[in-house]
Amino acid sequence: MSGLPETDGLNLLIGLLQRSQLQLLRILDALGLVDHVHGQAAWPWALRMSGENLLLDLGQARRLGLTLIALAAALCILGVGLLWRRGRIGLMATAVLLLAAAPWPEANVVWVPAHPTSFHQSPTGFAADSIERGRELYAAQCVGCHGADSRGHGTLSASLPVWPPNLAGPLLWRRADGDLLWHVLEGVRDRRGARTMPGFGGVLRDEDAWSLIDFMKAQGAGESLREAGLWTQPVAPPDVAVRCNGKAPRSLGSWRGQRLRIVAADASDAAGTVPALREDPRLVTVFLLPPTASRAKSTAPLPGDCVVDSAAAWAAFSLIAATDRLAGTQLIVDRSGWLRARSQPGQGAWRDDDLLCRTDSATPIAERPEPADGLGALIARMDAEPVRFVKGGFVH
């Protein structure tokens, strides 16, 4: 992996914060001590520990890390003190000194306001069907203020007290999914408590709001590709049912741990006239069938062993790849389940520029191994630069 102990340490710390808070909530829920809102256990406090702030302030993250280590050591010392009567006073004094000497981080960096849904998890699995449902809902409920491209330039925007934010920017990734859910269903208020965005809890069901969040993420990825030529925030491939060699369908997400190559077939592939892609032991190849070909599927031979035959899948992948001509596009998903690279129709060999989701561009090129082909180079780079810090500062 990459030689960046600092980012790895931060990843670990942020993961620990997230998991311990989630675990605490689960225990409280199992004991029946918390209410349920919007389908899941509600976070009972007005504050939670923040991952996102620590990402921005490495110094505070370091302090928190050291303080947690001091806290753990103090607890161990106190434990020993309980067993060893004679040394008790000395041990207790050491524990107190340790805690006093710990570099406690600033409270307002570590603690941030929480909503009851802050730790809610999306049940949709980022499924293509959910994204497409979100697309319809967005057009019906949100487009007037947020605009068709979600950049905030809707027809009503200018008349609002606060301009809607650019949802195609990093905002959606900075927030925990549960906080986004709260904002969509309960609305947004400014610091003085005045409503800046209406809540849609009366119109939308919980699963509708999750679908909207899926759609906004997919659209945000497409917009960033359009504008910056990159997926500036990591995005997963929409989950879809894949059929391999006529077996029962399995979900695309079930290949997590292996690299995937997703190939958008064109009508001629589906008719078997274009030579199939060479098998590649480094990747599992999955073909997306275009909606028109899928209608004629009963007669056309399939382009490969594993195929996806769903109009929603085609539409959702088109959204993320920012194209209305998906046929011929190839996408690569890394072992952790992130979309990382794209090659455009008719492009030929893979190039370094095809890596669209880069998390650590600082890795010196000289340090990278020198693989034989373009795809090998991309794979080496993807593996050397794993995606970090996602969603509200927390790793997925």
What is the binding site for ligand HEC (CB under 6 A)? Answer: 141-142, 144-146, 156, 160, 162, 164-165, 167, 175, 179-180, 183-184, 188, 190, 196-198, 200, 212
Q: Which is nearer to ligand HEC, 114 or 212 (CB)?
A: 212
CB of 155 to ligand HEC, least distance (A): 10
Q: What is the DSSP letter of 309?
A: -
Q: Which is nearer to ligand HEC, 196 or 363 (CB)?
A: 196
**Which residues, at least 6 apart from 178, have a Cβ–Cβ distance to it below 8 Å?**
43, 115, 117, 118, 119, 120, 121
CB of 318 to ligand HEC, least distance (A): 21
- Which DSSP helix (H) or strand (E) runs through 78? helix 58-83
DSSP code per residue over 186-246? H-EE-TTS-EEE---TTT--HHHHHHHHHHHHHHHHHHHHHHHSS-SS--PPPB-EEEETT
Q: Which is nearer to ligand HEC, 69 or 160 (CB)?
A: 160
Q: Which is nearer to ligand HEC, 167 or 270 (CB)?
A: 167
Q: Which is nearer to ligand HEC, 102 or 172 (CB)?
A: 172
CB of 213 to ligand HEC, least distance (A): 7
CB of 157 to ligand HEC, least distance (A): 8
Residue corresponding to tokens 């490969």? 304
Q: Which is nearer to ligand HEC, 184 or 315 (CB)?
A: 184
CB of 175 to ligand HEC, least distance (A): 5
CB of 238 to ligand HEC, least distance (A): 18
CA distance 284 to 290: 19
CA distance 169 to 173: 8
| Backbone Cα Rg of the chain | 24
CA distance 320 to 219: 6
Residue corresponding to tokens 């808070």? 21
**Nearest alpha-carbon partner for 291 in 268, 304, 307, 309:** 309
Q: Which is nearer to ligand HEC, 190 or 373 (CB)?
A: 190
Q: Which is nearer to ligand HEC, 234 or 337 (CB)?
A: 234
CB of 200 to ligand HEC, least distance (A): 5
Q: Which is nearer to ligand HEC, 198 or 369 (CB)?
A: 198
CA distance 237 to 305: 19
Q: Which is nearer to ligand HEC, 46 or 162 (CB)?
A: 162
CA distance 296 to 167: 38
CB of 183 to ligand HEC, least distance (A): 4
CB of 36 to ligand HEC, least distance (A): 22
Query: How many C-beta atoms surround the C-beta of residue 226 within 10 A?
Result: 12
* DSSP β-bridge partners for residue 37: 40
CB of 209 to ligand HEC, least distance (A): 7
**In 355-386, which positions are buried (b, 16+ CB within 10 angstroms) versus exposed (e)?**
bbbbbeeebeeeeeeeeeeebebbbebbbebb
CA–centroid distance for 163 within its chain: 26
Answer yes or no: are the C-beta atoms of 389 and 55 closer than 8 Å. Answer: yes
